[in-house]
Amino acid sequence: MDILNGIRVLSFNHFLLGPVGTQVLADLGADVIGIEPIDGAFQRKWGGANRRVDGETMLQLCGNRNKRSLAIDLKAPEGRAIIEKLIATADVISENFRPGVMDKLGFGYEAAKAIKPDIVYAAASGYGADGPYKDRPGQDLVIQALSGLANITGSEDQPPTPVGVSAADHHGAQILAMSILAALFRRERTGEGCRVDIDLLSAALDLQTESLVCYANGEPVTQRPPKNIAGWYFPAPYGFYEVRDGYVAISLGSMEALARALNEPALAQFNQDEMFSRNGEIAALVQDAVKDLTTEALEEKLEKERLWYAPVNDYAAVLDDPQVKHNGSFVEVESAAGTPITLLLHPAVYDGERPGIRLPPQPVGAQTADILAELGYDEAEMNALSAAQVIGIHAKSS
């Protein structure tokens, strides 16, 4: 994929949001250089399920494909000189340190703009570039708590429940990529770079747009939905229902059609307003009507009335789902060390093509020598910098 061919991105990112956001750009053909400490960025040291392939964490594998790795000591004068030379060649700088850290390192927006006036500088933080929380550590779980996201997840008989993934991080990554692309588009039209700021708190709020707008434009209500209903602002039957062999989601459709599908005439007596105001009562009727059915039997009934539904899949079923397979969402490739790994691909398709993997996630410093050579450093200079631990050069296996 060459949509962003010729765009160079310097990624001073760690953990999840920043790496995944710049990975979107890498998938589209940008030359994304992951700049990390000689001993590796945080995502190499911690990751989901404590699983590793060839010593690499799942966090490293899920956000660092199609990137080159430069291992460098940013505090060493020689390291700073290398970064300054790189900035002069770059279109984008992306970082997700706490506000002020990049300024202390000497690579904040003003310093970068002095080197490259039309630079697009994208900073991601927990809460924003300023404000009362700017110095707090921003992390997905605490953001889910603070933003209200955990409080609307689950039903009235459950405690606040975090979403089962790092939802704010993942959504924030897409906002980061979108914002960088918007700034690059403006630069193409005007020649001007800019600073872009995105934050996890805003990303988590953005995930709740419908819920928050509903809440803010009416009388205060509890945000804990009745049992089975998917959210406080949804009408019945919108939610999950237990059947003999699992759970089925029942989404939208008329109460008359649902009554016919479930052979439950009482459901047809509820009007549209009552689908909201009496959603708990309706959900209880639906649950009682489906509890002895199998998933297949319920799906047949719902399909006959053209209601919207789906089985609640576990991950084994997701990986085996025919539409997921048809879409080519997952791909098996070889890791940098040659071990088969399964990765989730870019979520969009361009002219019928889903961006693939040019480069699997790389060992720390795998392209340090190549990048420095592009800047004009010779082998002797690189060896000296490596000996002084200013740079890290990955030793390629023979």
pLDDT of residue 398: 40
Positive or negative, the Cα torsion across 6, 7, 11, 17?
Answer: negative
The 10 Å Cβ neighbour count of residue 377 is 18
Tokens in use for 4? 């962003």
**162-200: b or e for each residue (b if 16 or more CB lie within 10 Å)?**
ebeebbbbbbbbbbbbebbbebbeebeeeeebbbbbbbb
Q: Does 169 qualify as catalytic in the annotation?
A: yes
Selected catalytic residue, list 27, 31, 140, 169? 169
How far, rounded to the nearest angstrom, does the alpha carbon of residue 81 sit from its chain's CA centroid? Answer: 33
- Helix or strand or coil: residue 166? coil
For every residue of 218-262, which 3-state class applies, written as one string? CCCCCCCCCCCECCCCCCCCCEEEEECCEEEEECCCCHHHHHHHH
pLDDT of residue 395: 82
pLDDT along the chain (398 residues), means of 10: 96 96 98 97 94 95 97 97 98 96 96 98 97 95 97 93 96 98 98 97 98 96 94 97 98 95 97 96 98 98 97 97 97 96 97 96 97 97 97 79
| Contact in structure between 29 and 5 (CB atoms under 8 Å) | yes
Q: Name beta bridge partners: 33.
A: 10, 68
pLDDT of residue 372: 98
- Cβ burial of 318 (10 Å; 0-12, 13-18, 19+) is exposed
| Contact in structure between 221 and 232 (CB atoms under 8 Å) | yes
Cis peptide before 226 (omega within 30 of 0): no
| pTM score of the predicted model | 0.95
Give Cα separations from 392 to 60, 156, 256, 287, 385 (angstroms): 18, 53, 67, 60, 8
The secondary structure of 74-100 as a DSSP string is TTSHHHHHHHHHHHHH-SEEEE-SPTT
pLDDT of residue 369: 97
Residues 374, 376: Cα–Cα separation, whole Å: 5
Tokens in use for 192? 């001007």
pLDDT of residue 1: 85
Q: Walk me through the domains of the chain, giving residue ranges and CATH numbers.
A: 8-207+325-392 (3.40.50.10540), 239-312 (3.30.1540.10)
The kind and range of the H/E element at 9 are: strand 8-12
With left for phi above 0 and alpha for psi between -120 and 50, is residue 55 left, alpha or beta? left
- Helix or strand or coil: residue 114? helix
